[in-house]
Structure 1
Amino acid sequence: MRLIKLFLLLSLLFTACKEKTATEIRYTNLPPKPPKTEIKWLTENPVKIKTKINLSYLKGFECDSVIGIDYIGFSGEDFYFPINEKGQYISTICKKQKLNKEQISRLSSILSNKKMFENPNIVGCYEPRLGFIYFKNNEVICQTIVCIGCSKLESSAEIASLNFGFNEKARIEFKKLNSELGFSKD
């Protein structure tokens, strides 16, 4: 009986190996890398940047207005805030929209709520396309950029988590805000 089982096992192994060698292996070329976005900085209408402010969404901070930005905030592996340290806007802005008080409040509650950062989505693209610029006394006091696609963000203000990745609940809220502002999808 053992001899029969051994024979069956060996014949199955031989047949399986034989089939694999007969299989044709086809190689395909990898898709080309997407074109690198050329980032330029616009020299007209620069804004003032208030530097060295330690702001925190957890403690809250006051601002006069918040502008939502629909833009391409990455080029290759580099990412960019909508306004650089010289106060110049990035050239890839598609649309700007001022947030109303209710939208500012919802945005602050997302970024200050630790539960929005528990069990974050893990995807590795980080291609920010949604930005928020906070103004006070006609100066930029904070910028926050979001990649809805991979659920990551960066901010010049302290957020509720150190890992900068948010969960599906926060992602849904960002998508809703993105849609309300009339911005392009993800």
Structure 2
Amino acid sequence: MSIRNKFSSKIKKNNINRFIIFGSVILFSSCEKHTDNTKISSKKDSAQIVSDIPKIKGISGTELMDYVKSSPIIKPNQNNGIPFSTLDYDKIIAYDFRGDEEMYDAPIDKQGNFIPIIEKQQFLSQEQADKILKALAKKSSYGEASAACFNPHLGLVFFKDNKKINQMSICLDCNGSISEIDIPARRHRVFNKGTDDEYSFTGFTPKGKAAIIALCKELTFYYKSETNTQTKK
């Protein structure tokens, strides 16, 4: 091979090597930049998710318990209807909270502690207690459909000697309720009775919802407004 050909071949090899090195640097830089952007994007998404979570400044457990102890005594009323006519309590306190079906479906959790998202509390007078309990014990208050979700805003807790003996949570968004003691009136409207598909319409009727809204108006709770009581389809 001539000197000229050897020199030409050497130049070509050098050019190819330079091209490979240059290309590798660009590719590496591009990947590094892409990776960094992904991290930044991930951090932004994470920050956005955290910022979207509503921050609720609930009443402290100590304040809630002190309120129970200082609330006035009331008496059970045999005219309130089953099961409330036979329930032994001396106080009923209403709680306004932003509940959810998974974690906070009642004012007091399974461990006996107040949940951390209670925003308002108000003891019921004898008149208020008798009025709402009579409504909640009537068949005419139940018999409509309810949605599958359960995000209650109203809780009624019954106390005896400052200890919880029963609680009921109400969600007018889905038109449902739960109670630690059975309320027979909730199950009066039965479909497919005697079959494997038997079920009850336990949702509130307009009359039942009206009684709950009336109480919440007095207490200035969440369900005081008709706009906050729309049943979800």
**TM-score normalised by the chain length of structure 1:** 0.65
Give the partner amino acid of 1:134.
F
The answer to whether the 8 A contact 1:143-1:155 is kept is: yes
Does 2:165 align with 1:127? no
Give, in whole Å, the separation in 1 of the partners of 2:90 and 2:138: 22
Give, in whole Å, the separation in 2 of the partners of 1:183 and 1:46: 17
Give the partner amino acid of 2:136.
L
The answer to whether the 8 A contact 2:154-2:169 is kept is: yes
Higher share in helix:
2
Does 2:115 align with 1:105? no
What residue number does 2:216 align with?
178
1:54-65 correspondence to structure 2 within 5 Å: 57=83, 59-65=85-91
Deviation at 1:103, TM superposition (A): 1.1
- How many pairs are equivalent? 143
- Tell me which of 127, 134, 147 is aligned to 2:171: 147
Deviation at 1:106, TM superposition (A): 1.5
Does 2:112 align with 1:87? yes
3-state SS of 1:149 partner: coil
Give the partner amino acid of 1:129.
H
The answer to whether the 8 A contact 2:105-2:151 is kept is: no
The higher radius of gyration belongs to: 2
Deviation at 1:69, TM superposition (A): 0.3
What residue number does 2:207 align with?
169
Deviation at 1:57, TM superposition (A): 2.0
Give the partner amino acid of 1:155.
S
Deviation at 1:85, TM superposition (A): 2.2
Deviation at 1:151, TM superposition (A): 1.6
The answer to whether the 8 A contact 1:148-1:175 is kept is: no
What residue number does 1:4 align with?
none
1:24-103 correspondence to structure 2 within 5 Å: 57=83, 59-74=85-100, 79-103=104-128
What residue number does 1:116 align with?
141
The answer to whether the 8 A contact 1:67-1:98 is kept is: yes
**Using CA pairs below 8 Å that are at least 6 residues apart, which structure has the higher relative contact order?**
1
What residue number does 1:137 align with?
161
Give the partner amino acid of 1:95.
K
Deviation at 1:134, TM superposition (A): 0.4
Give, in whole Å, the separation in 2 of the partners of 1:85 and 1:78: 10
**TM-score normalised by the chain length of structure 2:** 0.53
Give, in whole Å, the separation in 1 of the partners of 2:142 and 2:222: 24
Instruction: Compute the RMSD of aligned alpha carbons.
Output: 2.9
Give the partner amino acid of 1:182.
T
Give, in whole Å, the separation in 1 of the partners of 2:64 and 2:222: 25
Give, in whole Å, the separation in 1 of the partners of 2:172 and 2:147: 10
Aligned identity (percent) is 28
Deviation at 1:150, TM superposition (A): 2.3
